[in-house]
Amino acid sequence: MAGKKIHEEGCVEFRLKLIGKRAKDGRTYNLPSVSEVAALVVGDFDLSLGERDILVETCTGRLQRINELHPSYLALQYPLLFPYGEDGFREDIPLCNRKSNQTRARKMMSIREFLAYRLHERNTELSIILRAKKLFQQFVVDGYTLIESSRLRYIRNNQRQLRCEMFKGLNDALLRGDTNPAAQGKRIILPSTFIGGARYMIQNYQDAMAICRWMGYPDLFITFTCNSKWPEIQRYLDERDLKPEDRPDIICRVFKMKLDGLINDFRRNKIFGTVKAVIYTIEFQKRGLPHAHILLFLERSEDLATTEYIDKIISAEIPNEEMDPEYFNAVKDFMMHGPCGNLRKKAPCMVDDRCSKHFPKRFVDHTTLDEDGYPVYRRRHDQRTISKNGVELDNRYVVPHNRYLLLKYAAHINVEWCNQSRSIKYLFKYVNKGNDRITAAFYQSANGENADDNVDEVKMYYDCRYISSCEAAWRTLGFEIQYRSVGVERLSFHLPNEQVVYFNDLEPIDEVLDKPSVKESMFLAWFKANEIYPEARNLTYAEMPLRFVWKRATREWVPRKRGFAIGRLFYVPPACGELFYLRCLLNVVRGPTCFEDIKKVDGVQYDTFRDACYALGLLNDDKEYIDAIKEASFWATAHCLRKLFVALLIADCLSRPEDVWEKCWVFLSEDILHKQRVMLNHPDLTLSDEELKNCALYEIQKMLRSCGKSLEEFHCMPCPDTRFLSKNTNRLVYDELRYDRAKLVEEHKELLGNLTVEQRTVYDTIMYAVDSNKGGVFFVYGYGGTGKTFVWTTLSAAIRSRGEIVLNVASSGIASLLLPGGRTAHSRFKIPIHPNEDSTCNIKQGSALAELLVKCKLIVWDEAPMVHKHCFEALDRTLRDILRFQNPRSLEIPFGGKTIVFGGDFRQILPVIPKGTRQDIVNASINSSYLWQHTHVMRLTKNLRLLHLPANDQTEYLVKFSEWIASIGDGTIGGPNDGFVEIEIPDEFLLKDFDDPIAKMVDCIYPSFDAVHEDPNYLKNRAILAPTLQVVDSINDYMLSLNGSEMKTYLSSDSPCKSDSNPDFLANIHTPEFLNGIKASGVPNHELHLKVGTPVMLMRNLDHSQGLCNGTRMVITRLGKHILEAKVLTGLSAGEKVLIPRMSLTPSDVRLPFKFERRQFPLIVSYAMTINKSQGQSLSNVGLVLKKPVFSHGQLYVALSRVTNPTGLKIAICDTDGKSTNVTMNVVFKEIFRNL
């Protein structure tokens, strides 16, 4: 009948075009790469979503409308699968549960359970459905769309009931601004219980983040992909003459069994050690097969994050075919990437003519871990290859894997060692990516002129949804798409008397108010538990599930008898006001018994939760800086306060600087009247408020101009009367010309007479280039003590004594302080923070800085090997452009014909390249730049520190020590090597027979600490060094515990950078406590513990005129509430007291998948510091703790050369068992010396 009807009336054909070119997220909107049956569900944007309009023509010709739940629907839709017209799903099929006799709330079978029943083969029946091949795929996909539409229809029809039953507490306000209950009442809500929905993904993501906060970051990231050629699948299919794509249900069931076995290997068999937690998520991309992303949290141990352990469990090399043929074939079949790149430009991984997976990798002889723990796996150039698609692939194309897992599971299993940024990246991946989608030609956009402004999450979920047959089978069978081995208790909370009330429209109000749930919420029960149980008073609300269980039936917290769960507070955005501030406090406050207790800080009762947050330092607010200036005014001079205000302006810390000025000008101008009376010799002088403000602004303007800034750049700030300031003076040029020329003439004569023969040669060569105006590029190469700084000082005195300009810069703040009038290169030349091969400096033609560069005769750049070659190339391009008006040939001459001198030691640490290999680091150095061919290298070889010592045994000992350090820097010690070699440390420097290397080292480097722990002279010349931040933090924590002063903890205020946030609603997944837990380079930790007398190091440039730059060491002298006072330990400003405010800092780690700001005091405790941070420091007592060996070029050399006297050097080396040893690794990239 159906066929006859079609032939009689004809059939209109439609074509569906899948669009490959689109400007949307390529991870989500991509074309299928395999042939399969899939459902493409496009939203209609109305309330009929979730219902199908099905018309049936009866034999009498009448039309009858039915829905998809009609018993005859499946038989009508699939007559070949139901040839006898068997009934399909009905809503009244009784549910029989043979496993349990307990009474169930649900009595009837769901459509998912009905369809899952149909997907199973039984020996007692012959199933046509399971042998229908492509039609079976269609049936599976269509069946799953029925399941989803049925769930969505239930949500719409029972919206009020669902809102009450499924949204405990806050409903986890996901959308920005979705905070008004009335507005929520009008929304179409897709609850977090809807599997695969946006809220479900967000809830599970935030649960994963809660596990990360408690467990630490994952150690292993594993991708497990299904293999359709598994013998279990092939055996089943061969018996039935089917292909893998014909039975997606079998593929899913076997993959689930394999996945369960893999998790069992991790948790019970402990193939990687004891596993604390497992998280995985299942993905279904348009490639035919499912795969799992797995994160493993391992039990921490000292030898876990070592290159030896990584080599033991992870391989990225082709095995020996003769020695291990089975392993060789497994790598060949499953773990070779490509070919791609130039070998195969149409490979699926190719994006913009580059491999999106960054293959081929580089050859690397040794596995390395950088300071942040990022691994670069060993890939030796051993000539082994595997032929794939006619192309010979070597170790550069091997995907990292584990041999045991690869051989046991015979599938693609990528095993990667995690560091913090990688684990965060992949946890974000499945949240931001969303479900698979595709753009079709008939897709109707919701962004038109008449589009509804309200967000409909149900519509968003369905819009352009791509459902593959494997995903449909997996979800129909009821397998989970998110898994975690650790329980997470989601904690609701509310403001006083604002707890959620559950009711429907028919309930009388008095009955609603009498419900126990109204007065006994989970949050209020926490207060009661704190009253009853003493142990509860030591826990925050989020820590409560660790030791207590929430009994839903009795609505109370009771002590936990076994196990534990991790607590997570529901997230609310800052727009929720007091509710958001309450949430911030609940992560900090312990043991409150009422709401008022939460608002009490340091014994002070505050009126609002916001005020309490502010008192704890949890907020970003200009009020903090106003209070800081007022607080400091009780002990600091007005001059210091003006310097503080200028530092805040330059650092862009003030959102409304004019408001801070108006509220603080009295304190900033406190000394003005006295200064004017003294200057004018007028004891009775009086000044109006406007005159006082003008004079204070004049002083502020002078400070700003000395830093290359002006009040005019801060548009809302008032400016002083212009009569006080010279209009036409270039302040930058003026500052470089105001040296005492007569004094410099005498100084130059003295310096010139003390130059050695080597130094005089360098001096004469450079001065000739300056005087002849020929220009030139020079590099003065010499290790510490050869007198490079002495040469710079002599050159500066020579040129400045003639009234000419020399610009002295250095790559680091510490090195710049040693130069006369020195600045950091980045601040002087406005070099981009992350330059590339096309970067230029941010200097405009005709600007004050451009004029300064035109007029300068010489540029000196010290410690040049530390920074990337792109920094020098950016300055080169900029100078060529600026100088072209003075010299037409400047575009063809390096640095536009300007004389520039670089200095440094290539034995020291080279540019830091995130994820960089040895080749990347060497290639980033200055001697790999195109500028190097124009550079004249001059050497200083004599150690001037030893030159004038009398000839005796001590002098001979110092000479030998100097030669030993030089041999370590050159990599000549330890015999022939390729740059990685184990060397023996002389016994005189070693600490031996220790149980705790940290305690032993502290006793040696900080003797009699209790008696002198606040003495700056004692602290300034000693420090303990280590390669990794983890060991440094352990040492600093230990030292703080020995300091008997009262400790104060400062908490940071963390927030995502608005300029970097994802513009859609998913950006709000960055919860404050998640950001608090991130430890990243370039920013202090969320909790900063300080005591008076604690040595600290500045983490950013604050005020170069005061010697306050990145790396400056100070000692804390006063701990204020909003401001710190510290005394500078070293440099030209040693002994001076300075004020340190909280500042907003952004992590420098470019591998983080998002940007965030942390407002905290820019300090780190510096009893101990990383080797990289120590470069530029000179210390009389140096301890080196090597729990793990150094991992990059020059680190050991830098650590040992910090000490000014060999008797002050002590080294503690641990072997893999934690025992003392005298052997450690030295790393020298010898190719860096090839063209010096």
Residue with tokens 């080597």: 758
Q: Is the N-terminal amide bond of 573 cis, ω within 30° of 0?
A: no
Q: Count of alpha carbons within 13 Å of 589, Cβ hemisphere only?
A: 28
Tokens, residue 794: 């002599």
Q: Please check whether residue 63 is in contact with residue 72, taking contact to mean a CB–CB distance below 8 angstroms.
A: no
Q: Could you give the dihedral angle defined by the CA atoms of residues 370, 375, 377 and 378, in that order, rounded to the nearest 10 degrees? A: 30
Tell me what pLDDT residue 358 has.
83
Contacts 24+ apart (CB under 8 A), 1016-1019: 1016/1115, 1016/1127, 1016/1129, 1016/1135, 1019/1093, 1019/1095, 1019/1115, 1019/1129
Distance CA 392, CA 178 (A): 56
Q: Which of 221, 232, 219 is nearest to 409 (CA)?
A: 232
Q: Could you give the dihedral angle defined by the CA atoms of residues 164, 166, 168 and 173, in that order, rounded to the nearest 10 degrees? A: -100
Residue with tokens 């001697």: 927
How many beta carbons lie within 10 A of that of residue 332, not counting itself?
16
How many beta carbons lie within 10 A of that of residue 785, not counting itself?
16
Q: Which of 1062, 114, 171, 41 is nearest to 458 (CA)?
A: 41
Please, what are the averages of pLDDT over each run of 10 residues along the chain (1236 residues)? Answer: 55 50 45 58 42 71 73 82 83 70 67 87 83 88 83 66 39 38 40 63 76 83 93 92 91 95 94 91 76 88 76 94 94 91 80 83 84 81 90 93 96 87 57 48 40 44 64 90 87 82 58 65 91 93 92 89 87 78 90 93 90 86 89 89 91 87 93 85 84 91 82 85 57 84 93 93 96 93 87 96 94 86 90 88 89 94 94 95 86 93 94 82 93 95 67 77 91 84 92 90 92 87 91 93 91 73 47 80 89 92 80 92 91 86 80 76 93 86 92 92 89 88 92 88
Tell me what pLDDT residue 1219 has.
87
Q: Please check whether residue 787 is in contact with residue 780, taking contact to mean a CB–CB distance below 8 angstroms.
A: no
Q: Please check whether residue 386 is in contact with residue 336, taking contact to mean a CB–CB distance below 8 angstroms.
A: yes
Q: Could you give the dihedral angle defined by the CA atoms of residues 268, 269, 273 and 277, in that order, rounded to the nearest 10 degrees? A: -30
Tell me what pLDDT residue 18 has.
47
Q: Please check whether residue 642 is in contact with residue 700, taking contact to mean a CB–CB distance below 8 angstroms.
A: yes
Q: Which of 488, 485, 493 is nearest to 587 (CA)?
A: 493
Tokens, residue 1177: 């420091």
Length, in residues, of the chain: 1236
Classify residue 265 as exposed, middle or buried by CB count within 10 Å of its CB (0-12, 13-18, 19+). Answer: middle
Q: Which of 910, 824, 913, 961 is nearest to 1193 (CA)?
A: 910
Q: Please check whether residue 787 is in contact with residue 759, taking contact to mean a CB–CB distance below 8 angstroms.
A: yes
Q: Count of alpha carbons within 13 Å of 1029, Cβ hemisphere only?
A: 16
Tokens, residue 831: 């070099």
Distance CA 408, CA 414 (A): 14
Tell me what pLDDT residue 722 has.
60
Q: Which of 298, 297, 295 is nearest to 483 (CA)?
A: 295
